[in-house]
Structure 1
């Protein structure tokens, strides 16, 4: 590394800062150290997923990886990124091993060996980020503080993941960092997480010139604006919410055991009167105006007339609104049976007020992706996933329920992982809307997955500036305010019921992101592909010049 344009200095004459820079340079030249740095990056990335109070590690997570891939070739950069990514997803989604134990009865070490295939696949998202960054650095004049966040957001979101999760969704406990996602979605938070690592990296190794210094100053200023916006709006929303009226919302958390087969009614109960209905009666007696049940395996509301009749009579007696999930079947014009994952809204008179059919399906759980249309891959998927793979027909329309004087937008299971899709349901007509999520996470056992699911959904409340209720079958269930504060969170892995006073204003709700959910991400995509096209053109011109 060039330290000065004059004659070399002795180690005693070097400043402490320059000495550190030299040590980092030496470290990045040692092969074992480079892979150690990649592993360190992976650990820093997953720590906020494992313990949200460690959110600060997400802001420095890429510094070791940037040191590791510095001055490396394309192949080694990809491999170092793969190491970092595999470690990151191993730590963040270690529950994949438990899922395989519950789903396929795999014991250790077979469950971990099988899960490692997923971790390697998911880790390739970081490998491709490192590869694209390395290539564009050779053919683009943009400084790292701009180039790295652009590459990270574009490549990371283009990579097809089985379980979508953005780095910003591990920042749920860092409220001042969340507030500006109402402008950009979680994609903007990911952008600034990557930019912060780039700024710290440049501070350690030194900028390459005055041009890069100017960009670094701009980056620091933008980061300051992001946090300044957050600092102001956390308090501003606290003050605003304090003046809202309260609606009493009940949540039922039955903690059902998961099953591939349709489960029998619990002892002492029936299809027409399940434990959730008994819990709902208790919640109604406590003053609940709206009761929410989580996602379930099967309730029988659509399939059995006596279940429908009893539900409607009981809800009418209670005089509340009820939201619950069930499987729905119907025949199409050709006589083929279609099944849907459906949320049902029963009004205070017990009548069916509306339904929402799940649109975003889980790959290999509710449908087989495009690649599985290849015969031998489809046969493998059907044999491996067996009864777990149930073809669900996607719904086509967003739905808004008028329930307990509120406008409710429901989403099912991993639909919470699609920020732009959730925002589309809020849209420009956002006044008085709330989000209600129904989930069943029992397939992942007593791991951190339900917590990870809940905390990622916190971002959806802030992005759209609406209250959010997340009912998870096995917990933790929660109520979240529009600035990301969790007003109530239940314990996990127990059956529970509770009533929460949900702050609500009929004229509040909506954000720039809910009106224009594609603007920020599509802008990043456009710049990224323009950079790639320009780099290819320059590369071609360079080759022609040599000829």
Structure 2
């Protein structure tokens, strides 16, 4: 430990002297962002924490502010490069002026970078030898990722969805297990270029190179085992509708015609279940309780087909001002057999946070506010010939990227056989967001080993199997008013190999607690360090 005088000297080093360290640190999140979908350089993810860890070790004797700035700078590219669609989303979804929206992009990127700054600071204060020197960086990152509030839940390993072998550890401890591997690899690589014993550095380099290869091989073995389960499992023919209606189009008949035509086509192809997208694609409001299909032909869900259908629709209680974002399950005779209200609403886009929504909407009528649902739901539907009961877990819009909410959906009594996601990602246009949304959803299927079908208004409609693999998808479209794109459909055979109640994964049984245990351990170490410092000061006094 350096003396107080030594600390004063090294902390007064001009920022310019550390500029090259800061520049190298900034490449960390660039490597992570370049690995993001679609078509990312996935291998670069394994390099992402190396510049950050190296900077943390190089700047160990600098002040907290300097170390935080290095890590924060090293995390900026996550938002700027990995999520460049955020500004456009604010412009199209929230209706903000372009300049304000791009200020929002910068603010989002700055906020997302904060955990990287905290990680570099705390890493620099960690042991440099012994087993804790290796465990601490991994546990620390998982803890920070767990507790840091995010508008859109994110993981640095989002690109692993394009190499699903690297996702398989999520079955044990969730995304945290995947992140810990990448952090460990980065720390190993950083230590190979730090001064020290040459033999030890070579060994660390070998382990760093072996880690992604071992993860790839073990992941493939696990996927092969799951594939054998799927081969003998009952199958369900699911038809997914991608209507490709332009955003904010106001032609209800055109919207319904797109849904009807694809539903009839899918029924003729043998679909046993049809899934439509989120509320807004279906252009009409339903009044609660909605128990049976509309009588008016222009509003009927089952106008041209008789296959059980899951669809999103706005719902409202008569006399109320605000709606719910609801998804319904309807049997082949038009009876509503299940309903679920979206729980996790998008701030400003779907609800007004912090202030009175009545006042806010009176001031800015374009702002939207909805009621949130209360807890998950489970659809039990009689599907196929002869009919068999299938349990489905509905999630609306970006609820499928929330680890805890998806776990609650899967943990309901009786379990689920598959997730069903209905969403509209048209707000983001022809950007990376719909693919990143899909990639995050793929982790949910690995965590619970059940498939997910996703009906997305303008793509990519998709099916994810129980390995987390993208089994089938339609292209991403960007329909505009005056430039129509025909509707599309996807028929996919979904293997229902397990139920989350009768065959829960390690993650579902308790592995989900791992990230919270990491947080508890970090907080415990922080409290112990604080107590030791106070005790030392008292003894000096």
**Shorter-chain TM-score range:** 0.7 to 0.9
Work out whether residues 366 and 389 of structure 1, in 8 Å CA contact, stay in contact via their aligned partners in 2: yes
- Residue 181 of structure 1: CA displacement? 0.8
- Residue 437 of structure 1: CA displacement? 0.8
- Residue 100 of structure 1: CA displacement? 3.3
User: Do residues 512 (structure 1) and 506 (structure 2) align?
Assistant: yes
- Residue 196 of structure 1: CA displacement? 1.4
Aligned equivalents of 2:515, 2:181: Cα separation in 1: 13
Relative distance call for 1:213 and 1:523 in structure 2 (3 A) is farther
The match for 1:387 is 366
Scaled by the length of structure 2, the TM-score of the pair is: 0.83
User: Do residues 453 (structure 1) and 443 (structure 2) align?
Assistant: no
- The answer for unaligned runs of 5 or more in structure 1 is 1-27
Aligned equivalents of 2:498, 2:95: Cα separation in 1: 49
User: Do residues 239 (structure 1) and 228 (structure 2) align?
Assistant: yes
Work out whether residues 273 and 307 of structure 2, in 8 Å CA contact, stay in contact via their aligned partners in 1: yes
What value does the CA root-mean-square deviation take over the aligned residues?
3.5
Relative distance call for 1:180 and 1:42 in structure 2 (3 A) is closer
The match for 2:42 is 55
Work out whether residues 365 and 390 of structure 1, in 8 Å CA contact, stay in contact via their aligned partners in 2: yes
Give the number of the structure whose residues are more often helix, by fraction: 1
The match for 1:75 is 65
User: Do residues 427 (structure 1) and 411 (structure 2) align?
Assistant: yes
User: Do residues 87 (structure 1) and 73 (structure 2) align?
Assistant: no
The match for 1:440 is 424
SS in 2 for 1:497: strand
The match for 1:478 is 462
Count of residues in correspondence between the two structures:
505
The match for 1:535 is 529
Scaled by the length of structure 1, the TM-score of the pair is: 0.82
The match for 1:44 is 31
User: Do residues 285 (structure 1) and 268 (structure 2) align?
Assistant: yes
- Residue 158 of structure 1: CA displacement? 0.8
- Residue 310 of structure 1: CA displacement? 5.0
The match for 1:120 is 110
Work out whether residues 252 and 294 of structure 1, in 8 Å CA contact, stay in contact via their aligned partners in 2: yes
Aligned equivalents of 1:514, 1:187: Cα separation in 2: 14
- Residue 411 of structure 1: CA displacement? 0.2
Q: Write out per-residue CA displacement over residues 490-509 of structure 1, whole angstroms, 9 at most, x where no aligned residue.
A: 10015321211222336686
Aligned equivalents of 2:132, 2:498: Cα separation in 1: 46
Aligned equivalents of 2:425, 2:155: Cα separation in 1: 19
Q: Write out per-residue CA displacement over residues 424-459 of structure 1, whole angstroms, 9 at most, x where no aligned residue.
A: 211276766101111111111211100110111111
The match for 1:253 is 242
The match for 2:302 is 315
The more displaced of 274-283 and 389-398 is: 389-398
Aligned equivalents of 2:365, 2:190: Cα separation in 1: 48
SS in 2 for 1:318: coil
Q: Write out per-residue CA displacement over residues 148-175 of structure 1, whole angstroms, 9 at most, x where no aligned residue.
A: 1111111122111111111233210222
Q: Write out per-residue CA displacement over residues 60-117 of structure 1, whole angstroms, 9 at most, x where no aligned residue.
A: 1011112223223210111112212222211111001222332466676664334212
User: Do residues 463 (structure 1) and 447 (structure 2) align?
Assistant: yes
The match for 1:265 is 251
Relative distance call for 1:150 and 1:290 in structure 2 (3 A) is same
- Residue 309 of structure 1: CA displacement? 2.7
Q: Write out per-residue CA displacement over residues 470-508 of structure 1, whole angstroms, 9 at most, x where no aligned residue.
A: 111111111111112211111001532121122233668
Relative distance call for 1:225 and 1:492 in structure 2 (3 A) is closer
SS in 2 for 1:407: strand
Aligned equivalents of 1:224, 1:147: Cα separation in 2: 23
Q: 1:523 aligns with which of 517, 520, 523?
A: 517
Aligned equivalents of 1:300, 1:379: Cα separation in 2: 23
* Aligned pairs for 1:350-389 within 5 A: 350-369=334-353, 372-373=354-355, 387-389=366-368
Relative distance call for 1:52 and 1:525 in structure 2 (3 A) is farther
Work out whether residues 439 and 472 of structure 1, in 8 Å CA contact, stay in contact via their aligned partners in 2: yes
- Residue 280 of structure 1: CA displacement? 0.9
SS in 1 for 2:317: strand
Work out whether residues 145 and 216 of structure 1, in 8 Å CA contact, stay in contact via their aligned partners in 2: no
- Residue 243 of structure 1: CA displacement? 2.3
Work out whether residues 471 and 477 of structure 1, in 8 Å CA contact, stay in contact via their aligned partners in 2: yes
- Residue 541 of structure 1: CA displacement? 2.3
SS in 2 for 1:328: strand
SS in 2 for 1:344: strand
Q: Write out per-residue CA displacement over residues 236-276 of structure 1, whole angstroms, 9 at most, x where no aligned residue.
A: 112222223432111111123333xxx5334x547xx4421
Aligned equivalents of 1:104, 1:416: Cα separation in 2: 21
- Residue 347 of structure 1: CA displacement? 0.8
The match for 2:381 is 402
- The answer for unaligned runs of 5 or more in structure 2 is 1-14, 478-484
Aligned equivalents of 2:535, 2:199: Cα separation in 1: 27
Work out whether residues 169 and 186 of structure 1, in 8 Å CA contact, stay in contact via their aligned partners in 2: no
SS in 2 for 1:325: strand
SS in 1 for 2:369: coil
Aligned equivalents of 1:86, 1:384: Cα separation in 2: 35
